[in-house]
Amino acid sequence: MDIRYAVGKSQYQRMTTDELRNEFMVDLFETGKLNLLYCEVERAIVGAAVPTQSCLALEAGKELAADYFCQRREIGVLNIGGNGTVTVDGTDYSMENLDGLYIGRGAKEVAFQSVDKDSPARFYLISYPAHADYPTKQAKKADANALKLGSVEDANKRTIYQYIHENGIKSCQLVMGFTVLEPGCVWNTMPCHTHERRTEVYLYFGLDDDSRVFHMMGPGDETRHIVMSNEQAVISPMWSIHSGCGTKAYTFCWGMGGENQRFDDMDHIAIKDLK
């Protein structure tokens, strides 16, 4: 697995477009493969598994120096593709589009499969170190805590579906869910915020080939953007806002790890203070 080292605030100030993309953007979805990226930021591992003919097994890799991937880790999974199955220690979880799965520390065997190789499941993974075992549990959109935010006037009307969070599926540090924008709404997380207590990874999906999301990053008084296409993820360091504006509506998966799990622990930044 590739390793992505952290970029400091001062280094960020002088980076070119290419440098920003190489350091913060993550492109892992590949047909028939399971790809992982180890990030120094929060020791997150971001992954994508797109099984076709055969099933794809999750291996620890030498980077973890562990007997199996979840020996000291927990994982959140979101299926953004066709129907599939995640097998955890012999139990099959059948995963439809937008179904989620929390896999707790201690799970020894994790494998991904598609029902139809011509319309494969597309599993997005986000993992953090875990200090305790919480039960593996499936998440369905109907059971998610749905937060309705924004308005049509502000072009940011959207629903936040919380899967793994303080009052939902329990975890050590992982907080995860996804946000769906209404047609014609393009802004997420504007007004924006930081939370030095947690770092976040966004995966943008549900975009056409010719649509893009301008992902906003950086301290509020020193913003930059990264132009993202479908199924690309972006690492948001502790000092960074994470907000986006699309050329049309889109969906994104957000995952966080860190000091606490409090969704409303945010340092809000007023739009008029952005630079």
Task: Please give the annotated binding residues for Zn(2+), written as ranges.
Answer: 193, 195, 200, 242
Q: Least CB distance from residue 11 to ligand D54, whole Å?
A: 23
- Measured from the CB atom, is 189 or 232 closer to ligand D54? 189
Residue 220: CB atoms within 10 A of its CB come to: 22
Annotated binding site: 193, 195, 200, 242
By beta-carbon proximity to ligand D54, the closer residue of 41 and 107 is 41
- Residue 200, Cβ density class (10 Å: 0-12 exposed, 13-18 middle, ≥19 buried): buried
* Alpha carbons 271 and 209: distance in angstroms, whole number: 30
Nearer to ligand D54 by C-beta: 147 or 227?
147
Binding site for ligand D54 (CB under 6 A): 158, 160, 179, 188-189, 200, 242, 254, 266
Among residues 242, 237, 240, 235, which one has the least CA distance to residue 222? 240
Give the shortest CB-8-to-ligand D54 separation in angstroms.
Answer: 21
Q: Which is nearer to ligand D54, 107 or 226 (CB)?
A: 226
- Cβ distance to ligand D54 smaller for residue 74 or 200: 200
Kindly give, in sequence order, each residue whose CB lies less than 8 Å from that of residue 265, ignoring residues fewer than 6 positions away.
195, 197, 198
Q: Residue 179 belongs to what H/E stretch?
A: strand 175-181
Residue 131 Cβ vs ligand D54, minimum distance, rounded to whole Å? 22
> What are the CA-CA distances from residue 88 to residues 71, 84, 103, 173, 234 (Å)?
13, 13, 8, 20, 27
Structure tokens at 6: 């952290």
Closer residue to ligand D54 in complex, CB, 134/263: 263
Q: How far is the CB of 139 from ligand D54 (least distance, A)?
A: 15
* Smallest separation, CB 149 to ligand D54 (Å): 6
Residue 47 makes CB contacts below 8 A (sequence gap 6+) with: 28, 34, 35, 36, 37, 58, 123, 124, 125, 126, 127
Smallest gap from Cβ 12 to ligand D54, in A, equals 19
Length of the chain: 275
Choice between 34 and 160, CB closer to ligand D54: 160
Instruction: Choose among 261, 231, 257: nearest CA to 76.
Output: 257
Tell me how far, at minimum, the Cβ of 79 lies from ligand D54, in Å.
18
- Cα–Cα distances (Å) from 82 to 99, 115, 121, in that order, read 10, 8, 4
